[in-house]
């Protein structure tokens, strides 16, 4: 199965999107993509990525777009 990046964001942003995907039955994985730049001053030091299977990418984008409207 080929996974595609849906969104990159902070831990809080990713958690909210996880909940939306889960509610809509969209499979996903979360990866931490921390770089060497210290960000402890700003809270979480991790940049997180949500990936979905390629065949779910358009559906996931549509769901997120509807939530923003």
Q: Taking a C-beta distance cutoff of 8 angstroms, is the pair 4, 40 a contact?
A: no
Here the tokens at position 65 are 């777009």
Domains of the chain in sequence order: 3-68 (3.30.70.1530)
CA atoms within 13 A on the CB side of 69: 6
- pLDDT value for 35: 56
pLDDT tens over the chain, length 69 residues = 899 999 999 888 999 999 999 999 999 999 987 654 554 445 555 689 999 999 999 999 999 999 888
E-assigned strands of the chain? Answer: 3-9, 29-32, 48-53
How much is the pLDDT for 36? Answer: 47
């Amino acid at each position: 199965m080929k996974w595609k990046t849906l969104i990159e964001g902070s831990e809080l942003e990713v958690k909210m999107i996880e909940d939306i995907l889960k509610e809509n039955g969209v499979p996903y994985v979360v990866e931490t993509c921390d770089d060497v730049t210290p960000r402890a001053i700003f809270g979480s030091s991790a940049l997180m990525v949500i990936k979905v299977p390629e065949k779910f990418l358009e559906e996931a984008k549509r769901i997120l777009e509807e939530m923003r409207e």
